[in-house]
Amino acid sequence: MSFISEINASNPPINDDLWERREFVSPDRSWLAVFHDPYEWHMGATGWQLSVSSLKTRVAIINSDLEKLSNGKGLVCPLDYSPWSADSQVLALRFWQSGLVFFEPLSNDFQVINLHPHSVQWSPIANYLLVFLNGQFAILDKNGKNLNTINWKTAEDELPRVGWMPSGTVFFIIGRASKRAKPRITFVNAENGTVISNELLDPVKLLPYNNDEYKSIPRGSYSLVLSPTTRSVGSLLDTWHDVIYDQAKGTIFLSVYRPISKVYELDRRPVCQVEKKWIALKMYA
């Protein structure tokens, strides 16, 4: 069974405004969570501040204890974040230091779940929270109780990318099992952990280039030159960089780096100049 209907070249889907401010409206349109004032406290690690308000009264929800958790490194706010539960009662927050926190704006109360997951994705239909940590996917309910656990092997120093299908009971995983493996997209039934579909999603086939010419590029070092001051790791010639899911349109946007120069030497290492290329993967409803 395949969930993919078509794959095409694409323009970048990212709105530049998302780098400074990200808004999440609750499913019932009662609440607005705004992540703002990001700052990079460590290379590649950005901390955000949070504001929550009622869309009915336009009144901000103030919780001094929750604000204390934001001190220091702040919150995590990835592009693939789905923070609201399906019933709009719980806002799942990821703090760099405190981990996973469930905040209920109606009661202005919160619960520290004592987990530090890499991903936080509420189902759009059911109150299922999908998290990934320590080589496992876990499905939590809105009280933080573990409903199901799925073991998942992934390449060292790489995290799987996930999203829920509109049905709310099936989610997909994009990643690879090892540095030598090809990326795949896997669809999983959240209620029983069954793999429904597992398909190859190879960047080299979907966005081809003369990879033999660039075999000398070190995959484990910063050998891809984006600009005179910016480099990226060489493994991003082989696997996906950005994975952005538009659930409403049923489309996954994926980017990968592709060479725009010959291999040359920089700091006594082979490097090449690169640019991002994008595809759009359309799925069946």
CATH number at residue 56: 2.130.10.10
pLDDT of residue 30: 97
Put residue 135 in one of left, alpha, beta given phi > 0 → left and psi -120 to 50 → alpha: left
Residue-level pLDDT at 70? 84
pLDDT value, residue 160: 94
Instruction: Please indicate, yes or no, if residue 144 is contained in any of the structural domains.
Output: yes
Say if CB 203 and CB 9 are below 8 A apart.
no
Residue 101 lies in a domain: yes
Identify the segments of the chain with pLDDT beneath 70: 15-18, 285
Classify residue 67: in a domain, yes or no. yes
C-beta of residue 80 within 8 angstroms of C-beta of residue 117: no
pLDDT at 80: 84
Residue 285 lies in a domain: no
Could you write out the DSSP letters of every residue in 114-125? Answer: ----SEEEE-SS
For residue 168, is it left (φ>0), alpha (ψ between -120 and 50) or beta?
Answer: left
Domain ranges, residue 162: 4-204
- What pTM does this model have? 0.90
Phi, psi of 236 (to 5 degrees): -80, 5
Cα–Cα dist 40/157, whole Å = 20
Query: Does 110 fall in a domain?
Result: yes
User: Of 192, 187, 169, which is closest to residue 283 (Cα–Cα)?
Assistant: 187
Q: 131 lies in a domain?
A: yes
Domain membership of residue 127 (yes or no) is yes
Q: How far apart are CA 87 and CA 125, in angstroms?
A: 8
Long-range contacts of 189-196 (CB under 8 A, 24+ apart): 190/123, 190/128, 190/130, 190/139, 190/148, 191/148, 192/148, 193/148, 193/149, 193/150, 196/1, 196/170
Q: Is residue 53 part of a domain?
A: yes
The predicted-structure confidence for 49-78, as pLDDT tens digits, reads as follows: 999 999 999 999 999 999 998 888 999 998
- Count of the separate structural domains present in the chain: 1
